[in-house]
Amino acid sequence: MARESMRIVTGCRTPAQFVAVFERFCDAKTCFIPTTDTRPVGSALSFTLRLADGTPMLSGTCVVKATWSTRDNAFKRPGVQLEIDKLSSDSEALFEQMLSRKTIPMKRPVERKSTERIVKLDPAKKRAPGSAFVLPASPLANVDDSALDAMLGCTLADDGEPLPEDDLAIPGTPPPRVLATVLGVAPLEKVKTKPKTKTVPMPVILRSDAVPFSITQTGGTAPLAFAMRPPAEPSMIRLHAMTGEERFWYLCALGAALFIALLVLATTFVFA
């Protein structure tokens, strides 16, 4: 028959709290778990008893011996009593430690008549009174019932279910960085500037009467680059660039030149 796996999460946060709280509820064969979530009597369980952060303390197999939904029991709390069948090797040492802390009543010695001779001793030297502060035998000796109930608050769940969230657990991711402010204003962050790049000089064409000079560039001065002059083009008269008056006189001069040329040719032909 398969056993049901049960995970019991207590309200204890340290192993010392766990031992101090549950030593009063455990004996050599049973362990009482304060909880309102119970299991049927006779159920065979595979259990783990854990701290609030999920750290296992006791684990093994057990059988539900008794359950109470009210405080009408020897433990004065509702809960379930487990009869332990077997504990793991790590849990046995802790369980033995819990049992060894239980108070063992001392037997009253038998009174007998003394036949020894009574000898008077010198008065002992008086010592200065010590401090009135005494450490308690149990770390929970001065804890009230409400705080103890908070530590005893156990949650029963199957092993497949997630652990309950702990409000006091350390977060897995660090909190965001907090900037120190002056009068509520955060300091300005340094602006990253791009490195200066050197500009490559571009070749230009200058007139023949231009004077070369140096230009200032990023990172220093460099001479202005020169290009070779293109070959001279033949001179041409561009009528479209002339004004109306210039164009008129140009055509008149051209017509006169043609007339004179024709007149010379005709005279040469006649007198030849």
| Domains of the chain in sequence order | 4-103+142-158 (2.40.10.220)
Q: Report residue 133 as tokens.
A: 């502060």
pTM over 0.75: no
Section 192-218 average pLDDT: 59
pLDDT of residue 128: 52
- CB-CB neighbours of 124 under 10 Å: 6
Mind listing the pLDDT tens digit for each residue in 139-172? 444 445 555 555 555 666 666 555 444 443 444 4
Residue identified by tokens 């000796």 is: 141
Nearest to 19 by CA among 52, 53, 55, 57: 57
Whole-angstrom Cα distance, residue 154 to residue 85? 21
Helix axes of 15-22 and 145-152: crossing angle, nearest 10 degrees = 110
Residue identified by tokens 């038998």 is: 110
